[in-house]
A and B are shown apart, each in its own frame.
Chain A
Amino acid sequence: AQSVAQPEDQVNVAEGNPLTVKCTYSVSGNPYLFWYVQYPNRGLQFLLKYITGDNLVKGSYGFEAEFNKSQTSFHLKKPSALVSDSALYFCAVRDGPGSARQLTFGSGTQLTVLP
C-alpha cells in the first residue's frame, strides 16, 4: 500500500524568507512523487515531479523539491517566498510506474506568505 503525509496543515512565512512544505511517503517499491498547487477558487496545477535521477527537482514558479530516500521525504522548497505563493499545496505519490489512477494525494498544506 502507498501513502503520503503532509504533517503541517498550515505554514506561515514572511515574504522574502525561504519556505519549506513537508511531505513524507510510504511505498513498497520506487516512488514517483509529485507536487501540485491549488490557488483560491482554482483547480490543482502541476508543479513538479520526481521519477528518477537527480534528487533535487526544479519546477514551476521557482519551486524545487528534494527527494531523500533514507528519510522517505520529498519536501517542497523555495529560496525566497512571494505573497503570490500563498496557496494550498498537495504532495502526491505513486508506487512505481503505472497510471495516474494510482496517485495518492496528501491532505494538503495551506501556505501563507505574509507581506
Chain B
Amino acid sequence: EAQVTQNPRYLITVTGKKLTVTCSQNMNHEYMSWYRQDPGLGLRQIYYSMNVEVTDKGDVPEGYKVSRKEKRNFPLILESPSPNQTSLYFCASSSRQGANTGELFFGEGSRLTVL
C-alpha cells in the first residue's frame, strides 16, 4: 500500500530535549516536505526536498533541521525544542510530476507538545 509513515504520532517532551520525527515514503517520490498545522493558520511549510541531498527552507524553518540522505526518508529534527513548536506536523511527498501539479500525499501527522 502506498503510504507516507510518520513516527511518533504523539509526543510530549520538555524544552531543550532534542527530538527527531521520522518520515518515510514507499512510492519512490522525489519531492518531500514538512508542514506544521496550527489553528487558524492552516499549513505552513517548514522545509522541503526536491531529491536526495537537496533540501531548502520553507516559510517557517527557524528551530528545525532536516536531512535527505536516502530517497525514502526525510526526518525532521528539533535540536532544542521550545513551547512555540507545539503543533501538529505533517510530512508530505510527491512524484516530480505531482510536485509540478500540487498533488501531495500526506502522512497521518505527528502531534508534538513541548512543555
Contact = CB atoms under 8 A, between A and B. Distances in A.
Given A43-B109, A46-B103, A90 B43 contact: yes
Contacts of B56: 101
Contacts, number: 72
B74 interface: no
A80 B92 CA distance: 31
Interface residues of B, number: 29
B52 interface: no
A43 B23 CA distance: 13
Contact of A100 (B42, B90, B99): B99
Contact of A99 (B4, B31, B42, B92): B31
Interface stretch (A12-20, A62-70, A71-79, A105-113): A105-113
Contacts of B99: 99-101
Contacts of A32: 101-102
B101 A101 contact: no
A99 B54 CA distance: 14
A49 B101 contact: yes
Nearest to A42: B108
A43 B4 contact: yes
Interface residues of A, number: 25
Contacts of B100: 97-100
A49 B105 CA distance: 14
B43 A99 contact: no
A41 interface: yes
Contacts of B94: 100
Contacts of A43: 4, 90, 92, 106-109
A25 interface: no
B21 interface: no
25 contacts: A34-B102, A41-B108, A42-B109, A43-B4, A43-B109, A44-B43, A46-B103, A49-B101, A49-B103, A92-B102, A94-B102, A98-B100, A99-B100, A100-B48, A100-B92, A100-B99, A100-B103, A100-B104, A101-B58, A103-B45, A105-B43, A106-B42, A107-B41, A107-B42, A108-B42
